[in-house]
Copies of this chain bind each other. A is one copy, B any other.
Amino acid sequence: MIPAVDLKFLHSPSSVAVIGASDDSDKIGGRPIAFMRRFGYRGTIFPVNPTRATVQGLHAYPNIASLPFVPDAVIVALPGQDAVNAVDECARLGVKGGVVMASGFSETGRAEDEERQRDLVARARAGGMRLVGPNSQGLANFGTGAILSFSTMFVEQEPLDGPIGIVSQSGAMCSVPYGLLRRRGLGVRYVHGTGNDADLGVGDLAAAVLADPEIRLLLLYLEDIRDCSSLECAARMAIERDVPIVAMMGGRSAGGRRAASSHTGALANEQRVVDAFFSRVGIWRARTLTGMVDTAALYLQDWRPRGRRLAIVSNSGAICVLAADAAADNDLSLATFQTQTTQALEEVLPPFATKVNPIDITAALLTDSSLFGKVLPILAADSGVDAAFIGIPVSGKGYDFPQFASDTAEFANKDNKPVVVAVPQARVADEFQAKGLVVFDDEASALTALGQYLHHRELRQRVREAAPLPPRNIWSGESRVLSEAAALTLLREAGIPSADVRLCTSAEEAEAAFADLGQVPTAVKGCPRESTHKSELGLVKLDLCTSLQVREAAQELLDLMERLGLEADGILVTPMVKGVREALIGAHVDSVFGPVILVGAGGKYVEALDDVRALIPPFTVDDAREAIQSLRVASLLAEVRGEPAADIEAWARAAVALGQLMIADPSLRSVDVNPLMIGAATGEPSFGALAVDAVVERFDPTVCCVPT
């Protein structure tokens, strides 16, 4: 794994020069100076401006060379070639890091601008200087006051240092989450807009933020992933330090990808592979801004939940109903109370209140304010309750809601069970918030956030226990298709059970093979050296039952391949296999993420059904099983209409083996096993999973063999 870059010179520089410094604190070259002075930066600020003696009251320098000493960091607030020249000079002088704010580089898509960006990076690297940008809003660290950023949001929304970091390819998408978090009263330390990621990218800056032990939550915004190694490194640090990362990636839709391409020239990552990568490294992918910021307050709690079994308590029956619906929407189960819990609830609640989950305290709360305080400790004592939802839709006058808030807070603190609260009245919500509780307007928002928090926690636990990702060895270049015989042999040797296939070169050999196999019905298939779509060419003969049929079919196929001019290994004789279901497993090498394994519904309609999940190897049988069970076809894998359940374990094992094969052999470009016949989980057919047909493409080592 790439070690995290030490970026102290950008996060905590002892001195910062602003090249193109402006006296106007609303200009790009003026704002960072104003921000640093206002937000407590204790290092030295050097305004560089050849036309002024002072800038914002500070002594200004005509150029970089005239500074009394070489600064740790520079902000380059100059356009185009001037920015390149400034970076060149800084790099020569030994400046460690710089932020280049100017746009008009590779994001325009014009060749000359791309060339200028390459030049910019080359000059910085020549002097060992690291760059953020170009086209960057800049970096902000409210821990040290080093605000190398011109974000308008810092003018509008007073900062508060806190345990959250934001790293974003887009300036707007670091300012907006920042603004929303601050509106929720949460403190944020790092607000980094990385821009074109020409040198330092989102992954590097994420790792640098994670190196700060006070950071407890990291939010990312991305439009593409060109190099996943630095992101993987950051994700690994986050797992080790138990810091959740929530990422939003624009371009989920075709329209979004088009827009991203014209915004930042973003590459079109395959979305399901991105999902697989995030999941493999423990990053939660948020689909909306709400999903990114709404759960923040939960991540900052010291909760230690053991599962997802939820207790629901409300003074409204309707909220109990809606919370149960929202729990189901978010894959949270309703806790089944222990007997002593129900008995204890019987004792404290009035007769018409509900004592099973959800607990409807009813309007009795209006007359007896102690009911919350009586019910919650009972739930706290129930080891079958992992988390709680408290819904108080109506309160206020006549209700002792400060007491409810205290009771809820006591419950939450007692044994660190997660508690989310839904209170639509601002005045009442404030009371709960003041007690440190996490409050939402409604049950759906509360339980969506809780669901994300609990599922993400489980994901991170799985990643913590998972094998590390191996180095990616991504080949490219020419490739060729293996014959089916070679492909099935390769799979068998990799531990993926494959159909018993006999390669024959004559009708007589085929007849002998049939006799030796001794199973009917049998299939005979042509085996051209570069096998592709055999059925379409008429190279598959099925349901053969006699020696004569096999011999005739074999001869026919040999003749046909000769007529078609296909170079062939011969013909294959194989017993026909009938499983409970047809599945597929596949693999390909993604140019960014390396080997990717697919599991899905098999058969001829694979593309139309699009019922496929991706996994990044290595992964476990558990991971594969979970992916398989999230397929739409999953409902047909259980016992259905008297047919036995399919052997999902065998399918999962085959997928794991394929993952190991792809890691072990970087010369493999793609593997497509369809159908993978799945036998019965118990009973007949008991063969587990069997590769019946396979197409394997291999990079030609004599031609390319170029790891990238």
Contact = CB atoms under 8 A, between A and B. Distances in A.
Interface of A: 26, 103-104, 108, 151-153, 155-157, 168-173, 175-176, 179-180, 183, 221, 223, 248, 250-256, 258-260, 262-264, 287-290, 312, 315-322, 324-329, 334, 352, 354, 356, 358, 360, 363, 393-399, 424-427, 441-445, 604-605, 607-610, 632, 635-636, 638, 640-641
A426 B183 contact: yes
A391 B638 CA distance: 47
A312 to B, nearest CB: 8
A290 B447 CA distance: 13
Nearest to A248: B322
Given A173-B318, A321-B256, A352-B103, A396 B635 contact: no
A144 to B, nearest CB: 24
B254 A176 contact: no
Contact of A328 (B153, B170, B252, B641): B252
A170 B289 contact: no
A289 B322 CA distance: 9
A328 B256 CA distance: 8
B327 A255 contact: yes
A44 B311 CA distance: 47
A155 to B, nearest CB: 5
A263 B317 contact: yes
Contact of A316 (B108, B171, B322, B441): B171
B605 A324 contact: no
B263 A320 contact: yes
A168 B444 CA distance: 18
Nearest to A251: B321
Contact of A393 (B175, B424, B426): B175
A544 to B, nearest CB: 19
A638 B157 CA distance: 53
Nearest to A398: B26
Contacts of A171: 316, 318, 394
Interface centre among A169, A171, A636 (most CB of B within 10 A): A171
Please name the 3 residue pairs, one residue from A and one from B, whose CB atoms are nearest each other, closest first.
A263-B317, A253-B328, A170-B318
Given A251-B321, A253-B327, 10 more contacts: A103-B363, A108-B352, A170-B317, A252-B328, A253-B329, A255-B358, A258-B324, A259-B320, A287-B444, A605-B636
26 contacts: A26-B398, A108-B352, A152-B395, A152-B398, A155-B396, A170-B317, A171-B394, A172-B318, A176-B424, A179-B425, A180-B424, A223-B318, A250-B318, A251-B325, A253-B329, A256-B321, A259-B312, A259-B317, A259-B358, A262-B360, A263-B318, A263-B321, A287-B325, A288-B444, A289-B442, A608-B635
Nearest to A360: B263
Contacts of A155: 396-397
Highest count of chain B CB atoms <10 Å: which of A151, A316, A426, A632: A316
B610 A289 contact: no
A317 B356 CA distance: 51
A370 B293 CA distance: 32
A224 to B, nearest CB: 10
A315 to B, nearest CB: 8
A324 B444 contact: no
Contacts of A180: 424, 441-442
A366 to B, nearest CB: 8
B636 A608 contact: yes
Contacts of A325: 250-253, 255-256, 287
A604 B321 contact: no
